[in-house]
């Protein structure tokens, strides 16, 4: 049974993939303290990218309402607000796609695309084209899918947007696997993986690794398939990609079932079913039921086989999953054939082939044609049995041939060689970086020494200037001191002259007094004579 009948490769990368790993609590805290409405809008959109699936509806609804409010106010940049609104609508569409609400998802994706086209946002257009393409693929509209991917690839190349380019390559790979075009699927898968490894995009890398593993599984290289699935699981677990993790659980179960490791296979089937129920992924749950039915058929438990097949068909008819229904109808036809319910088996076989041809998926056509060939043989309709057998062989050969095997080997060798070249270039870059660091360190040291020399020279010049200023000041002060000293001496000289004059004046006064005293009668002599005369 070919892998394209049961593998679920869903690649719905969100806008701004790097936000995926951002801490939700941190964004919530920022939102709680945000003051401007534009900041709140941005944070709500980022939260709708980073939050768990069950919270997407809450944050996108709030973001869309706030965006409409800001647009009515006409105070802010219209283009910026519209891009945020379109991104929120895209995330809401992603949620409905995941929940298998295809009708709502189509409408919302289309709204998102129209807004991105209105504001001429290339990245948004590419993202919307990829997402709509994957939804149209699920609805069986392969021509529309390829057309949308062609547009996305053209825009990605023109804008040199490597993130969008790797997303488009991976989606191409996914669709070409279902169409049985293995060469093209491999070409795009490796192109996508190399870009993702180069830019460090773990979200896209997980899907690319899954796609490559799927191709190895189709070629029955179970060891390589397991290795790539485990690599994808490691990446997806790291970034908490719940949808991707459930897909890997399913695919690993298939690998172990092919190796008859039934206990291990059942464990992964049940882990996958549990996770898909937890995230309410209806088409994923239907796939798990279908795979468990096939598993119990192999173990010889027809009751559980019928139970799980019926559950898968009910869900797939409810959500109108055409690819899933083609798979379920084909499986039910095989089961009823084994139960010898030939007419009922024919009805399901015809339904399976009709849907497979409508989808254009060679793997589904091959399986449906094979079971119908066996049914018609049982009914004795050998002509129809022969026609179905020819169709089966034609489809089988288109999926599995020597040229395809050679292409896979060549692609693997090229990938390993490119990876080695990348490793060598990284090693060279690392060595060059060490050299550059040493040169930069030496340059910095020389620059520092040069700066120190300039500082020293500058300091010396300043010292000389300062010394000159001080010396000049000293000369002025000394000159002033000389002047002051001379003035002081002059003052002293004048003082001496004044004192000398003063002395001369005093001496003159004394001399005059002596002369006067010599000429005048003594006061005592007069007083004695007066007393004597009075007595007489």
Render pLDDT for 278-310 as a digit per residue (tens, 0 to 9): 988 888 999 999 999 999 999 999 999 999 999
Average pLDDT, the chain: 79
What is the CA angle 243-247-248, rounded to 5?
A: 120
Q: How far is CA 1 from the centre of its chain?
A: 38
State which of 87-101, 344-358, 442-456, 468-482 shows the largest mean pLDDT. Answer: 344-358
What is the 3-state composition of the chain as percent helix, strand, coil, each rounded to the nearest 5? 85, 0, 15
In the predicted structure, residue 72 carries a pLDDT above the cut 60 = yes
φ, ψ of residue 6 to 5 degrees: the values are -130, -10
478: tokens are 């000394």
**457-513: per-residue pLDDT in tens?**
555 555 566 556 555 665 666 666 666 666 666 666 666 665 565 555 555 555 555
pLDDT band, residue 415 (cuts 50/70/90): low
The pLDDT of residue 103 is 84
Q: pLDDT: is 152 or 535 the higher one?
A: 152
Distance of CA 329 to the CA centre of its chain: 40
Helix axes 242-258, 282-298, angle to 10 degrees: 10
CA-to-CA distance for 411 and 189, rounded, in angstroms? 10
pLDDT for position 200: 80
Q: Rounded to whole angstroms, how far apart are CA atoms 354 and 364?
A: 10
Please indicate, yes or no, whether the overall pTM of this predicted structure exceeds 0.75. Answer: no
Within 10 A of 347 (CB to CB), how many other CB atoms are there? 15
For residue 448, what pLDDT is reported?
62
Distance CA 74, CA 214 (A): 50
How far is the CA of 147 from the CAs of 123, 132, 180, in angstroms? 17, 11, 18
With a cut of 50, say whether residue 4 has pLDDT above it.
Answer: no
For residue 394, count other CB atoms closer than 10 A to its CB: 13
338: Cβ contacts below 8 Å, ≥ 6 apart: 297, 302
């Amino acid at each position: 049974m070919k892998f394209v009948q049961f593998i679920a490769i869903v690649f719905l990368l969100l806008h701004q993939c790097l936000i995926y790993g951002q801490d939700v609590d941190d964004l919530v805290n920022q939102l709680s303290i945000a003051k401007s409405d534009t900041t709140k809008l941005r944070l709500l959109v980022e939260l709708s990218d980073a939050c768990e699936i069950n919270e997407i509806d809450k944050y996108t609804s709030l973001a869309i309402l706030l965006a409409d409010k800001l647009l009515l106010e006409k105070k802010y940049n219209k283009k910026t607000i519209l891009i945020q609104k379109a991104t929120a609508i895209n995330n809401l569409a992603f949620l409905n796609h995941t929940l298998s609400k295809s009708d709502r998802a189509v409408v919302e994706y289309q709204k998102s695309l129209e807004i991105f086209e209105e504001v001429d946002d290339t990245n948004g257009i590419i993202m919307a084209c990829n997402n709509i393409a994957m939804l149209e693929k699920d609805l069986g509209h392969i021509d529309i899918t390829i057309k949308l991917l062609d547009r996305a690839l053209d825009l990605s190349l023109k804008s040199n947007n490597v993130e969008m380019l790797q997303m488009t390559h991976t989606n191409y790979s996914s669709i070409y696997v279902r169409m049985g075009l293995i060469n093209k699927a491999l070409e795009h898968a490796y192109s996508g993986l190399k870009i993702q490894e180069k830019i460090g995009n773990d979200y896209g890398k997980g899907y690319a690794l899954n796609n490559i593993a799927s191709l190895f599984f189709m070629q029955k290289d179970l060891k390589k398939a397991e290795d790539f699935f485990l690599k994808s699981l490691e990446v997806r677990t790291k970034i908490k990609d719940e949808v991707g993790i459930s897909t890997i659980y399913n695919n690993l179960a298939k690998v172990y079932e092919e190796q008859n490791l039934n206990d291990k296979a059942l464990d992964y089937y049940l882990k996958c079913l549990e996770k898909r129920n937890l995230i309410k992924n209806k088409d994923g749950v239907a796939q798990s039921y279908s795979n468990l039915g096939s598993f119990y058929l192999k173990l010889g438990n027809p009751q559980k086989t019928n139970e799980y097949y019926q559950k898968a068909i009910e869900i797939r008819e409810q959500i109108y999953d055409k690819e899933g229904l083609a798979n379920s109808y084909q499986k039910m036809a095989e089961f009823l054939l084994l139960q010898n319910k030939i007419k009922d088996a024919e009805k399901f076989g015809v339904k399976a082939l009709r849907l497979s041809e409508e989808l254009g998926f060679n793997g589904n056509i091959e399986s449906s044609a094979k079971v119908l060939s066996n049914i018609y043989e049982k009914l004795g309709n050998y002509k129809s049995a022969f026609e179905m057998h020819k169709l089966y062989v034609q489809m089988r050969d288109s999926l599995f041939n020597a040229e395809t095997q050679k292409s896979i080997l060549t692609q693997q060798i090229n990938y390993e060689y490119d990876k080695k070249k990348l490793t060598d270039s990284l090693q060279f870059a690392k060595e060059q970086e060490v050299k550059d660091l040493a040169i930069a360190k030496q340059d910095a040291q020389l620059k520092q020494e040069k700066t120190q020399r300039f500082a020293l020279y500058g300091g010396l010049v300043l010292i000389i200037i300062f010394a000159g200023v001080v010396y000049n000041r000293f000369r002025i002060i000394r000159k002033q001191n000389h002047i002051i000293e001379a003035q002081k001496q002059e003052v002293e000289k004048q003082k001496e002259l004044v004192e000398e004059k003063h002395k001369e004046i005093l001496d003159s006064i004394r001399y005059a007094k002596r002369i006067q005293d010599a000429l005048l009668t003594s006061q005592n002599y007069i007083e004695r004579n007066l007393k004597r005369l009075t007595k007489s």
